[in-house]
Structure 1
Amino acid sequence: MGPLPRTVELFYDVLSPYSWLGFEILCRYKNIWNVHLQLRPSLIAGIMKSSGSLSAMRFLTAVNMEHPEMLEKVSRELWMRVWSRDEDITEPGSILAAAEKAGMSTEGARALLEKISTPQVKNQLKETTEAACKYGAFGLPVTVAHLDGQTQMLFGSDRMELLAYLLGEKWMGPVPSAVSARL
């Protein structure tokens, strides 16, 4: 039996391709490293003061608040739209299309989309973004590892080997299943 689960937070914005890299790698490693991965949708504009993803990030915040089990899939689909297929993620119809492709019902996605302008969702996104700033964020992605009562903040998607070291785990590259398939 491995070590008890440790908590790792990933602050991200789907307008950041570097966040996407960190997101995919941490999603692949969360079970291998036995970490509790907390996905934390953040507004890069709140950190860097310029972004067009406000609606998408509010939508992800609403997903996280009401259907956290869908957050990984919906986040991935938004990244696929904007960075892989050069599709919009700012218009309501685009956000709905991403949510539906990720497996959300049309009704459920519409209900969440209606909540993106509520004080609860706005405040939650603001609080999460402020939490990233308190850790020292100056861009995204930011990964925060909580280890032995201490926090370690890592900036960038190219710090996963360092995260593995801090966790006392083995780094097997960005696609760990490819390494284990060769063994």
Structure 2
Amino acid sequence: MIDRCVRPIIKKRLKIDTNKESRSIALPLASSPGLTDLIEDSRPTVTVLLLKMFSSGKVVKLYYDVASPYSWLAFEVLFRYRSIWNIDLKLKPAYLGGVIHGSGNMPPGFIPNKIQYMASDLKLLSEYFEVPMVKSSKPYESDSLVPMRFVTAVAEQDKEGDLLERVSRELWKRMWCTHQDITQPASLIEVGLNAGLSTNEVEEILTLAKSQPIKDKLKSVTKEALEFKGRSGWGLGLPISQPQYDHYSSILCRF
């Protein structure tokens, strides 16, 4: 089961590293002389910004929650192409439930047409981007607050970002590929161990995740994501990707 969740991602990375392809879906909200080669694709829409830049140091902030399958798609595509697009990717763990509530939006589960569309949409997108999502026989009903506090604690401990990338991916694989729990301490311990942490390090992060500073940090980043509400209709869900340019701003969102 784990092989099925890992192999497609590795395969896609090797393809990109070998052929230097850079093709995705773009949704610019403004033009910029520093941004080139925006390509619109007629395939089903995952909101991913195509960036091909010739200057260095451009920062892209990705606000995400592991409860969002579209966040996983954006996450993998941005990591896949970041060296080609020459971007500095900053991960910003946020709480999807807080963004949906704060924006006045409704979860897909409350809108039958949306949940039906998502099933077919995610099947096509997972095949196109080779991100290994497997349809579950029952809808996911658990809240992501506990795992996102865990991810936020990892982010506070991991200043380089490599561990945060691995932990986030392990959580997405459990939720959207193997359909395992991600809310219980035993599940988070398994996630941490699979991501390369020691047992002591995982226990330390679990304790940190329950602390008030981590709770406040997650609230703060979620509030940042909500500040995008009203900018061309974005900020209603996750992921949100915010490229930072001198004369360019683009807010991308899908959940």
- Normalising TM by the smaller chain, what interval? 0.7 to 0.9
Query: How far apart, CA to CA, are the structure 1 residues paired with 2:83 and 2:197?
Result: 24
Q: Does the CA contact (< 8 Å) of 1:11 and 1:142 recur in 2?
A: yes
Write the letter of the residue equivalent to 2:245.
L
- Give structure 2 stretches of 5+ with no counterpart: 1-52, 102-106, 108-141, 230-234
Kindly indicate whether residue 111 of structure 2 is the aligned counterpart of residue 13 of structure 1: no
CA distance, structure 2, for counterparts of residue 93 and residue 31 of structure 1 = 35
The runs of 5 or more residues in structure 1 that have no matched partner are 158-183
Question: Aligned pair 1:89/2:189, yes or no?
Answer: no
What is residue 207 of structure 2 aligned with on the other side? Answer: 114
RMSD across aligned C-alpha pairs, in angstroms?
1.7
Q: Which residue of 1 aligns with 2:249?
A: 151
Deviation for aligned residue 1:150: 4.1
Q: CA deviation at 1:156?
A: 2.8
Task: Note if 1:38 corresponds to 2:90.
Answer: yes
TM-score (norm 1): 0.81
- The answer to whether residue 166 in structure 2 is matched with residue 73 in structure 1 is yes
- The total of aligned residue pairs comes to 157
Q: Which residue of 2 aligns with 1:166?
A: none
Query: C-alpha distance in 2, partners of 1:63/1:149?
Result: 33
TM-score computed with the length of structure 2 as normaliser: 0.59
Alpha-carbon shift at residue 30 of structure 1 (Å): 1.2
Give the superposition deviation at 1:66. 0.8
| Percent sequence identity over aligned pairs | 40
**Equivalent position amino acid for 2:73 in 1:** L
1:180 equivalent in structure 2: none
2:198 corresponds to which of 83, 88, 105: 105
Q: Distance in 1 between matches of 2:82 and 2:220?
A: 24
Amino acid at match of 1:143: S
Rounded to whole Å, the distance in 2 between the matches of 1:41 and 1:72 is 11
SS of the residue 2:249 aligns to: strand
The runs of at least 4 consecutive aligned structure 1 residues that moved more than 2 Å come to none
Of 63-72 and 87-96, the range deviating more from structure 2: 63-72
Which is greater in Rg?
Answer: 2
1:55 to 131, 135, 146: 146
String of CA shifts for 1:75-120, please: whole Å, max 9, x gaps. Answer: 0000001110010000011011011101111111110101112111
Tell me the amino acid that sits aligned with residue 37 of structure 1. Answer: L
